[in-house]
Amino acid sequence: MQEPKVERTDPPPGDAAQDALDLQAVGYEPVLKRYFGFVESFSASFCAMNFIGVTRMLLYIGLSTGGPAALFSTSVIVVFGVTATAAVLAEICSALPLSGSIYIWASEAAGKRWARLTGFVVAWWACTAWISFTASNSQGPAQYLLSLMVLFGSDIPGGLTPENPNYRYILFAVTLGCLWLALALNYLPPRYFSWTFRFTVGLLFVDLLLSVTWFPVGVSRTYGFRSAQEVFTGRNNTTGFSDAWAWVLSFYYAGYAPVGYDAAGHVSEETRNASTTSARGIFWSGFASAVLALVATIVWLFCIPPDDILATFDAPQPFVQIWAASIGRGGAVVMTVIAVLGLILSTSCAVTASSRLIFAIARDGILPGSRWIAKPSPQGQPRNAVTVILVVSTLLLIISIGSQVAFTSLLSAGATSMSTGQVARLTRPSLYQRVLVDLLVPPAGHSEGVQEQQMEPWAVGSIVLHHWIPVQPVPPGRDVLSSRVSLHGSDLQLCNRHHGWCVNIRDHLLVGHPRGSMAPSGTGGRDEEARPRDIDMRRRLHRSAVNHEMVKAVAFGADRT
């Protein structure tokens, strides 16, 4: 079958030429067009995380597992952990600004002996995470829309509860519509992506502005604020376990909000001056989302009604009733529309980033049907990868018809897969040959040695904690089917079935096909001749735009060296 022609032009002098050279230096042929700058790179991660939408969706979980004090304290801790992790990932991204990002970074960190196996497993974990995000996040706007029925006195037979099959069918239909709308935006011409990113960022800030002004004013005129003592010292444990254990579980709420700041790395092959721009996008988006999630959390804790009123709310998304109680039914409708648009658009931005990740993974021949998935469109866009996300996400949504609890566990499954891949990139188990500080050696061997060593324990500890919380056991029962362990196991089983693909790893540094070309022909992948076998990540870090002053360089600008 004849492959589609991709419009290509010789890169002009300057950043575009350097970007092309950087890509060719690691054996990749540039096939995606570079439309994005810093704003788009930042927006890709910032919108995918949607700090304000996620905190509202998970607030009830946090209140029941630890209470207000636990939510506040864990959110503060997460700010430091996310900042350190984002700085470390920005350093690595500046050395390897590739769309595959996370699995390629993990493969490089593993060294020659384990590179292929590590890259293969992390690639599947990354696919699991981002596709499950797409499916599960699409249910958020559907719950908001169905909650409006409560405000207008409407209902469905059996009530708006997950135990009601009628409700699950309707929720599935509305969720599917939201999912397809978010995915449809990714089939538009590339010039519209920048508009989508910018509009979504603006909408999220409008949501935040109304949440810190209009919402508190309404609360002050109705049921009143909660006291500072209740917010900063109040506890609530409905788990049946100890208070200390319930406090630890609150990290699920705090840690989930800033998940996804590596999205800027996924779009790096479409970003101009990628080694600097993508790195800054990762750092600033992660830092901003963590801080703003803390701000939103404080607002929610002061503004939610007293427990006796809160217990009477039975809508699928209680915030709709909270808005109605504070700013009236009309205000609740306005805030619901803003929240729904924000969630749909942020899901669309996440699909834009994740489709580039899946394209890169397919380019290395890891996925079934890789040759077709990795074919770019005539405009130089990975639309086949978007189609894969559409099909798989739709199939995942079918789970919600049978068990809402099983589908909800996809949230933690995605977070678990994402954090596991980050652990593979940043930690030093016995199978790895380098410690994190070794990966951050600055140019010419010079090292101030302080910031790098301070970042390592925060980054590794934060990621390990985020991985550990979602995989904790849940009470057994007929309706409780957690997909977290099964998704991890499926990925590892695929790796086992493809064991022949993972052998002979001494001959290749990165993941790919065991012989000859490292990717299907025509997909712009690596080949053995284009990339020296013994090229080392440390050498590329010496050319990194983000060097020994890691946070300072990423934040305030480092010239390309």
Helices (H), 427-520: 436-439, 450-468, 484-497, 499-502
User: What is the dihedral sign for C-alpha 354, 359, 363, 366?
Assistant: positive
| Rg of the chain, C-alpha, whole Å | 23
pTM of the model: 0.78
Cα–Cα distance, 382 to 294 (Å, whole number): 35
CATH architecture assignment, domain 21-556: Up-down Bundle (1.20)
Angle between the 319-363 and 51-65 helix axes, to the nearest 10 degrees? 120
Cα–Cα distance, 518 to 363 (Å, whole number): 9
Residue 522 in tokens: 């025509």
Cα–Cα distance, 293 to 122 (Å, whole number): 27
SS3 241: coil
DSSP 530: T
Give the CA distances from residue 36 to residues 19, 164, 269, 561, in Å, rounded to whole numbers and listed in that order: 13, 45, 9, 21
CB neighbour burial string for 292-308, b if at least 16 within 10 angstroms, e if fewer: bbbbbbbbbbbbbbeee
What is the chain's pLDDT, residue by residue, as a tens digit (561 residues)?
444 444 444 444 446 666 777 677 666 777 777 788 899 999 999 999 899 998 998 888 888 888 899 999 989 988 988 888 888 888 888 888 888 788 888 887 777 787 888 888 888 888 888 888 888 889 899 999 999 999 888 888 888 888 888 998 999 999 999 999 999 999 988 778 889 999 999 999 999 999 999 999 999 999 999 999 999 998 888 777 788 878 887 887 887 777 788 888 888 888 888 888 888 999 999 999 999 999 999 999 999 999 888 888 889 999 999 999 999 999 999 999 999 999 999 999 999 999 989 998 998 888 888 899 988 888 888 899 999 999 999 998 888 787 776 666 665 555 555 555 454 444 433 222 333 333 333 333 223 333 444 444 555 555 555 554 544 544 444 444 444 444 544 444 444 444 344 333 333 333 333 322 333 333 344 443 333 333 344 344 434 333 333 333 333 343 333
